[in-house]
Chain A
Amino acid sequence: MLEKVDILMTGVGGQGVIMASDILTTAALDIGYDVKKTDSLGMAQRGGSVTSHVRIGEKVFSPMIPPGGADFLVSYERLEAVRSLVLLRPDGIAIIDSVAVTPLSVTIEGYHYPSIDEVKESISSITQRVYVLPVMEMATKLGNPRASSVLCLGFLSVFLEIPEQSWLDEIRRHLPSRLHEVNLAAFNTGVEAARERQKEEDN
């Protein structure tokens, strides 16, 4: 049994954040962990910020990750990564899609949308373990931008003790069969990207 792992997933309504956290949670449940998961639902679905708290361990109490408690931050959009930073623990791991989904407050009210460098800098006060990837772009190359949610799971899976088979089973269980091929490919692409990054770090 592993110790507790807290994973915060975030993005914008419609990006598949909730589906990805469903896959993660059930994959962890399959191999016998206690798990809890809480999503923001309701009004927040309408194009607003979406977060999903996933907690895995021997025994989980609170369904919410405390501030500074998340071991992983998986963000499908770079502004949302910064918004959720207070939840990431020092030296935690951040996996971020560099894609920008510009909110109306930027277009209309003139707020500043952070550049990739600004995002990295803002995270650097908390952790150096930051992976910023063009996830949406990578998924689009595979044939479906929406596969980005599963691609990130592939990347994340390299850091977790959940066997690959559980991941693949849950991806198949949560998605209609016409989307299996592209999402299984996306998962593998995520795994490979993480292994490459790890190799670079080792050298």
Chain B
Amino acid sequence: MKQLLSGNEAIALGAYHAGVQVASAYPGTPSTEILENMASYKDVYAEWSTNEKVAMEVGLGAATAGVRALVSMKHVGLNVAADAFFGASNVGVRGGLVVVCADDPGMHSSQNEQDNRHYARFAKVPMLEPSNSQEAYSLMAYAFRLSEELDSPIMVRTTTRISHAKSVVEVAGERPELGPPPPFIHSPSKYVMVPSNARPRHPLAEQRILRAAERFEEFPLNEVIWGDRKVGIISAGVAYQYAREAFPQASFLKLVTTYPLPHQLVKSFAAEVKTLIVVEELDPFMEEIIKSIGIAVQGKSLFPIIGELNIDIVLQGAMKAGLISRMPKEAVATTPALKPLPPRPPLLCPGCPHRGVGYVLSRLRFGPKGSIPGARVGGRKGKEWHIATSDIGCYTLMVYSPLFAIDSCVCMGASITMAHGLEKAGVAEKTVSVLGDSTFMHTGIPGLVNMVYNRSHSTVIILDNHTTAMTGHQGHPAAGRSARNEEAPKVDIAELARGIGVKDVNVISAFNLKEIEDTIRHCTANNEPSVIVVQGPCSLYERISGTALRVNEERCNGCKLCLDIGCPAITFDGDKAYIVPTMCIGESCSLCVQVCARNAIEKAGD
């Protein structure tokens, strides 16, 4: 049966048909939909774990029990899970364990660009890369079999364009009938990694990579396409699709097994072509391995190491190599006459519960606003600006105009810990850290424990919107919703903070500016660690809509104070403010009403 599936949907369906019984993940673009789809299969146990390391260990536990397990995450998630990933490589598996890792070249929704193929080589874990949804579906069955045969986790690496692009899949398999797990086997020499047990495991990992390389010589999804033998291209993943379209005449070796590389297959292909080129996104991963086995090949001398590739970039590389003399006509880009175009970056939605905190932070001189040229800044000039460290989530968008409210965004959990480090370094400025409820569960908690234990005076602002918003509204332990969106036990953030030893814990509303201001003033003035839990639902998640507010044109004097909150629903029509009725969520927000000095914003019907 033919279906149109995204790479992530295909991976989930492939894993389902391969008999996966346990699936675990932490949400992260572009990997999120894998677990969301697994959760839609009622006969699979699927969970949002508190973070990627936890997810990896849950998967390893299930594999140790002898059932097949799927773990999925985005590229930086594997940094968090690396300890467990290397551990899994060390002890191996009983049931198949497949780790899907989705990279984000071009950083569509990420804080960095990293090539996770290195992890496969680093951890000595065999790796497969699909180049479309069909391969993503088909390779899952192989991946699980291989995992069990080689006694190793298998990494499946995708990128944004593979995970999110939809293409046609011929669905051949179906769900097998599965019984309860086999009896547990106690095998301390395999699973208890004291040095005496761990030493014999390393040679096994080395042997396993050699066995995988042998197996990959005959791997059915690797493909040689013979064309003109003047140019031979080795490629994988979405880069293969760009190269195939750019060079319809060339010969191709398309690899799905990108670690370890099948050396004989590469050598025999190289021997048949005059010029050998590797087309791959990000690092010269395959290129360096191919060179190391003594084959002359060009790659990163022609194609960029930074960002995504596309057909045009591949063609430009071909020009450099002298393979084509000019760009084909249709790829010559025409430049529009209108410049510069107004940018439209992502922003906090109308009714977003983070906006009030961002606005108050700027007002209280936290963040970089004072050093932004042209930003509207109230108050005395020359007075110091304090420091607001942030984390990974929608609230990171507070960095944009007009809020300019945060000073850092580095990795999950780093808001609390960096603020603590700043304070201990002795900075004169006050520090606050800002993070979301899901991020607090993910890696924020150890940072708060550290703050209390090491006698910090900083303030942690936890923006509790009851969901993991940025990745598309997944449940987490403090939201009380499971991966299947069923009710689940709920962590009380304020009680947790008190339990850790924070005495100054405040729970306030996200839509009351005065309360937010008073609380931040109070907490940043005292000499003890403090926590502010700011509660307000994500307006997009709860689909909050009410009668839009409107501007009383007689009262509005066009002062533009309302623009300081950065609400996309507020525009200017001539010299008066105008609220776009289809965007405003109405009274439940009302931040603009609170900042207007002339009482000019009112409920419709007032």
| A144, chain B: closest CB distance, angstroms | 11
Interface residues of B in 340-390 (CB under 8 A from A): 340-349, 374
From B236-244, B435-443, B504-512, give the one contacting chain A. B236-244
Question: Is A163 an interface residue when CB atoms closer than 8 A count as contact?
Answer: no
B344 touches A103 (CB 8 A): yes
B333 touches A67 (CB 8 A): yes
Partner of B346, one of A45, A66, A68: A45
The reply to whether A63 and B338 form a contact with Cβ atoms under 8 Å apart is no
Structural contact, A67 and B340, CB atoms closer than 8 A: no
Please, which residues of chain A bring their CB within 8 A of the CB of B164?
A: 38-39, 41
Main secondary structure of the interface of A (DSSP, over half): mixed
Whole-angstrom distance between the alpha carbons of A35 and B333 in the complex?
24
Known A89-B330, A90-B334: A42·B344 in contact at CB below 8 Å: no
Q: Do A104 and B332 form a contact, CB below 8 Å, given A42-B108, A63-B241, A111-B342? A: no
Q: Which of A119-127, A150-158, A176-184 contacts B (4 or more CB under 8 A)?
A: A119-127
A residues adjacent to B (C-beta < 8 A): 12-13, 25-26, 29, 34-49, 60-64, 66-69, 79-80, 82-83, 85-86, 88-90, 102-109, 111-114, 118-119, 121-123, 125-126, 145
Pair A105/B342 contact, Cβ less than 8 Å = yes
What's the least CB distance linking B128 to chain A, in Å?
19
The 7 closest A-B pairs by CB, nearest first: A42-B109, A111-B342, A63-B165, A42-B29, A67-B333, A48-B346, A46-B346
B339 smallest CB distance to A (angstroms)? 9
A9 to chain B, nearest CB (A): 13
Determine if B411 is an interface residue (Cβ-Cβ < 8 Å).
Answer: no
B491 within 8 A of A: no
Residues on the A chain within 8 Å of B334, using CB:
68, 85-86, 88, 90, 125-126
The interface residues of chain A lying within 8 Å CB-to-CB of B121 are none
If A42-B29, A61-B245 are given as contacts, then 9 extra A-B residue pairs at C-beta distance below 8 Å, sorted by A number, are: A37-B166, A41-B30, A43-B470, A46-B346, A48-B344, A61-B244, A80-B344, A82-B338, A105-B342
Contacts of B166 in A (CB 8 A): 25, 35-38
How many Å lie between the Cα of A69 and that of B30 in the bound state? 26
Contact A35/B346 with A66-B310, A126-B334 known, Cβ cut-off 8 Å = no
Assess whether A43 is in contact with B332, with CB atoms less than 8 Å apart.
no
- Stretch of B80-88, B394-402, B414-422, B528-536 with 4 or more beta carbons under 8 angstroms from chain A: B394-402
Residue with the greatest number of chain B CB neighbours at <10 A, chosen from A36, A62, A69, A123: A62
By a CB distance below 8 angstroms, the chain A residues around B582 are 145
Contacts of A119 in B (CB 8 A): 338
Q: Closest Cβ of chain A: how far from B398's Cβ, in Å?
A: 12
Q: In this complex, which of B334, B346, B374, B394 has the most chain A Cβ atoms within 10 angstroms of its Cβ?
A: B334
Q: In the complex the two chains form, what is the Cα distance from A114 to B338 in whole Å?
A: 8
A128 to chain B, nearest CB (A): 14
Check B572 for interface membership: any CB of A closer than 8 A.
yes
Q: Which residue of A lies closest to B7 (CB)?
A: A63
Q: Report the tally of A-B residue pairs with Cβ distances under 8 A.
A: 172
Among B12-20, B139-147, B550-558, B563-571, the one that faces the other chain is B563-571
Choose from B342, B347, B572 the contact partner of A46 (Cβ within 8 Å). Answer: B347
By the criterion CB–CB under 8 Å, are B348 and A105 in contact? no
- Cα-based distance from A85 to B338 in the complex (angstroms): 10
**Is B330 a contact of A66 with CB atoms below 8 Å?**
yes
Q: Which residue in B330, B340, B472, B566 is a CB contact (below 8 Å) of A104?
A: B566
- Bound form: Cα–Cα A36–B397 in Å: 31
Most chain B CB neighbours (cut-off 10 Å) among A42, A49, A109: A42
In the bound assembly, the distance between CA atoms of A118 and B341 in angstroms comes to 12
A107 to B571, CA, bound (A): 6
Could you mark each residue 561-602 of chain B with 1 if its beta carbon is under 8 Å from any beta carbon of chain A, else 0?
Answer: 001001010111000000000100000000000000000000
Nearest chain A residue, comparing its CB with the CB of B572? A107
Contact for B563 among A26, A86, A108, CB less than 8 A: A108
Within the complex, the shortest CB–CB distance from B577 to chain A, in Å, comes to 9
Give chain A nearest CB distance to B488 CB in angstroms. 25
Q: Is the CB of A29 within 8 A of B168?
A: yes
Report which of A26, A35, A83 forms a contact with B341, defined as CB distance below 8 A: A83
How many chain B residues have a CB neighbour from A under 8 Å? 55
- 0/1 per residue, B461-496, Cβ < 8 Å to A? 000000000111000000000000000000000000
Assess the A86–B336 pair: CB atoms within 8 A: yes
Residue pair B344, A69 in contact (C-beta under 8 Å) = no
**In this complex, what residue of A is CB-closest to B4?**
A29
Contact B167 A113 (CB under 8 A): no
Bound Cα distance from A112 to B29, whole angstroms: 33
Residues of A within 8 A of B470 (CB): 42-43, 46
| A67 lies within 8 A of B572 (CB) | no
- 0/1 interface trace, chain B 9-43, chain A, CB 8 Å (1 if under): 00000000000000000000110000000000000
User: Does B2 count as interface, using CB distance less than 8 angstroms?
Assistant: yes
B165 touches A82 (CB 8 A): no
Write out the residue numbers on chain B whose beta carbons fall within 8 Å of the beta carbon of A82.
336, 338, 341
Complex contacts, A35 vs chain B, CB 8 Å: 4, 166-168
CA–CA, A60 to B308, complex, Å? 19
Contact call B29/A36, Cβ cutoff below 8 A = no
Q: Which of B168, B332, B349, B571 contacts A68 (CB 8 A)?
A: B332
Q: For the complex, what is the distance from the CA of A26 to the CA of B3, rounded to whole Å?
A: 9
B residues less than 8 Å from A13 (CB atoms): 346
Inter-subunit contact B331/A69 (CB<8 Å): yes
Would you call B346 and A103 a contact (CB within 8 A)? no
12 contacts between A and B (CB under 8 A): A25-B166, A41-B30, A42-B108, A47-B349, A48-B345, A69-B330, A79-B341, A104-B347, A109-B374, A114-B341, A123-B336, A125-B337
Q: Is B268 an interface residue, CB under 8 A from the partner?
A: no
Q: Are A61 and B241 in contact (CB under 8 A)?
A: yes
Q: Does B196 make an interface contact (CB < 8 A)?
A: no
Q: Is the CB of A121 within 8 A of B335?
A: no
Residue numbers in B under 8 Å from A90 (CB-CB): 334
B336 contacts A85, C-beta separation under 8 Å: yes
Given contacts A12-B344, A62-B311, A66-B311, contact A86 B566 (CB under 8 A): no
A36 neighbours in B (Cβ, 8 Å): 132, 165-167
Residues of A within 8 A of B4 (CB): 25-26, 29, 35, 37
Q: Does B312 contact A (CB under 8 A)?
A: yes
Cα separation A107 to B17 with both chains bound (whole Å)? 52
Is there a chain A Cβ closer than 8 Å to B161's Cβ? yes
Q: Please, what's the 1-or-0 string for B302-326, where 1 marks a CB less than 8 Å from any CB in chain A?
A: 0000000011100000000000000
Q: CB distance B401 to A104 under 8 Å?
A: yes
Contact B342 A47 (CB under 8 A): no
Chain A proximity of B355: nearest CB distance (Å): 12
Residues of B close to A103: CB separation below 8 A:
342-344, 568
Q: Which residues of B contact A49 (CB under 8 A)?
A: 344
A80 to B470, CA, bound (A): 23
**Chain B nearest CB, measured from A83 CB (Å):** 6
Tell me, in angstroms, the Cα distance from A83 to B471 when the chains sit together. 25
Residues of A within 8 A of B566 (CB): 104, 108
Within 8 Å by CB of A118, from B108, B338, B401, B472, lies: B338
